[in-house]
Amino acid sequence: MEKMNKIGLVIVILLMTISVSGQSILGKWKTIDDKTGEEKSIVEIYKENGKVFGKIIEIFDPKKRDLPCKFCEGDDYNKPVLGLKIIKNMEKAGDVYKKGTITNPEDGKQYDCRLQLDEDNANKLQVRGYVAFFYRTQYWVRAED
């Protein structure tokens, strides 16, 4: 009987490991301001032509829903923030996505980006923007459909 309990425990642990490692960064994420803790928007992360992108699909503050990205550069200049691709050209490298960029639509600044699921919670996404070796990290939460 004790042997059956051990086998059962091993099976449960294996299934839990498979379900956590099977999680993906793809889907809808609630953005959380790392300074204020305020929920700001929903970003949908999706795959397109083998790379990963993210666009803003919902903005919680009604005063900001119709604003253009007046500080963005290039093709994104003056485009509506709602619907804007803020994560571009991310490539998978093991458990992380990198080699792409993220844009802050509030100031138009663009950063090198790294995305990674939190090791302890697959419903939490670590979003890190880099300038040289300086970085800033936010944690986004998986949004319920």
**Tens digit of each residue's pLDDT (9 = 90 or more) over 52-64:** 999 999 999 999 9
Question: What are the boundaries of each domain within the chain?
Answer: 24-142
Q: How far apart are CA 94 and CA 23, in angstroms?
A: 13
pTM above 0.75, yes or no: yes
Cβ(100)–Cβ(118) below 8 Å: no
Question: pLDDT band for position 144 (50/70/90)?
Answer: confident
Question: pLDDT band for position 1 (50/70/90)?
Answer: low
Distance of CA 114 to the CA centre of its chain: 9
Return the CATH fold of 24-142.
Lipocalin (2.40.128)
Q: Which of 79, 76, 54, 51 is nearest to 67 (CA)?
A: 79
Q: How far apart are CA 3 and CA 124, in angstroms?
A: 36
* DSSP secondary structure letter of residue 143: P
